[in-house]
Amino acid sequence: MKCFAVHSYKGGTGKTTLAANLAVIYARMGHDVVLLELDFQAPSLHTLFGVRGRDAYMNDYLSESATWDDVLVDLGDNYDLDGLLVLGFSNPDVDEIRKQLAKDRKWHMQAISQLLVLKERLRAEGFDYVIFDSAPGVHYSSVNAVVASDFTVVVAKIDNFDFDGSIALIDQLYNPLERRAFMLFNKVVPPLLTGSRPAISTAEEVFKDKAEILGFVPCYCDVPLAMGSEIQALSQPDGPFATRLQQVAQKIAEIDVAAKHGT
Ligand SMILES: Nc1ncnc2c1ncn2[C@@H]1O[C@H](COP(=O)(O)OP(=O)(O)O)[C@@H](O)[C@H]1O
Ligand SMILES: [Mg+2]
């Protein structure tokens, strides 16, 4: 089983979009996939998957007020997939978001234990991929997602905000936690991908010796045009966005989880 967090320094880099599409791509390939939303600040997966009014959320499982059976929902039957696609949503209610943001360190220490118990259960049940869609930055819940994962996929744009922020995360969060980071550049404006590609060379130079680069995903207008209610890997599986992400999915599949941090 491979378990990875999709994380970033800043918000809006495309974590949720990429995590959902990667989950669908793996499930279409016949893998059994669990996608857990650990972004309690801005829950979004329910919008993307069109799921409303759950009785129990990841917040409840981590608080030990619901079991994983209450929280996890198998969406595989809704789509034409060869593998399982199981989701755990976080609670989008504004009061619940406020409550969640007020949780203290002690609560988050308990939450990481709950997360690790769930991960081991999913491993025992034979799931192939567990993906955490996390909040940006270094709040406890993001750190927990990183700690519970085998490695982190860092979604960044090609700009100095994300270069500096991602390097800070690598140096000050992932490395001390001994978690390998893999950069995934998203929303890359097409002119940067043609010609002599100086921006791409800069990214390669900046992250050399820091993190492997999984790929450069162009900015496609089709993605925002779908207004957050379409998963391209389902609606346009052979389109350019899904095709590019299939290559990323393949690279992630090739990551050796057993390789030690720093190797
Ligand atoms: N490759 C892309 N090209 C164009 N727009 C994108 C791309 N990836 C994501 N987006 C858009 O960016 C916005 C933020 O994406 P989202 O996945 O919610 O980011 P995050 O989870 O990092 O906050 C959404 O409107 C989404 O449709
Ligand atoms: Mg998100």
pLDDT of residue 134: 98
> What distance in angstroms lies between residue 26's CA and the mean position of ligand 1's atoms?
20
pLDDT value at residue 226: 83
Which residue has the least CA distance to atom 23 on ligand 1?
12
Q: What pLDDT is recorded for position 227?
A: 86
Ligand 2 centroid to Cα of residue 16, in Å, is 4
CA angle at 182 for the pair 177 and 183, rounded to the nearest 5° = 125
- Digits of tens for pLDDT over the chain (263 positions)? 999 999 999 999 999 999 999 999 999 999 999 999 999 999 999 999 999 989 999 999 999 999 999 999 999 888 989 999 999 999 999 999 999 999 999 999 999 999 999 999 999 999 999 999 999 999 999 999 999 999 999 999 999 999 999 999 999 999 999 999 999 999 999 888 888 888 899 999 999 999 999 999 999 998 888 888 899 999 999 999 999 999 999 999 999 998 877 65
- Of 223, 225, 235, best ligand 1 pocket probe by most atoms within 8 Å of the beta carbon: 223
pLDDT tens digits for range 209-237: 999 999 999 999 988 888 888 999 999 99
The region, left, alpha or beta by phi > 0 then psi within -120 to 50, assigned to residue 40 is: alpha
Over the Cα atoms of the chain, what is R_g?
A: 17
Closest CA to 220 of 21, 40, 1: 21
From ligand 2's centre to the CA of 139, what distance in Å?
14
* Residue 212, beta-bridge partner list: 182
Architecture of domain 2-253: 3-Layer(aba) Sandwich (3.40)
Ligand that comes closest to the CA of residue 42:
2
Query: CA-to-CA distance for 161 and 182, rounded, in angstroms?
Result: 17
pLDDT at 38: 98
pLDDT of amino acid 231: 95
Strand partners, 218: 188
* Cβ–Cβ < 8 Å for 84, 99: no
Q: What is the pLDDT of residue 263?
A: 58
In contact, 188 and 240? CB cutoff 8 Å: no
231 lines ligand 1 (CB under 6 A): no
pLDDT (0 to 100) of residue 261:
74
Closest residue by Cα to residue 86 from 134, 146, 129: 129
pLDDT tens digits, 1-32: 999 999 999 999 999 999 999 999 999 999 99
Please work out whether the CB of residue 223 comes within 6 Å of at least one atom of ligand 1: yes
**Domains in the chain: boundaries:** 2-253
Please identify, by atom number, the ligand 1 atom nearest to the C-alpha of residue 39: 21
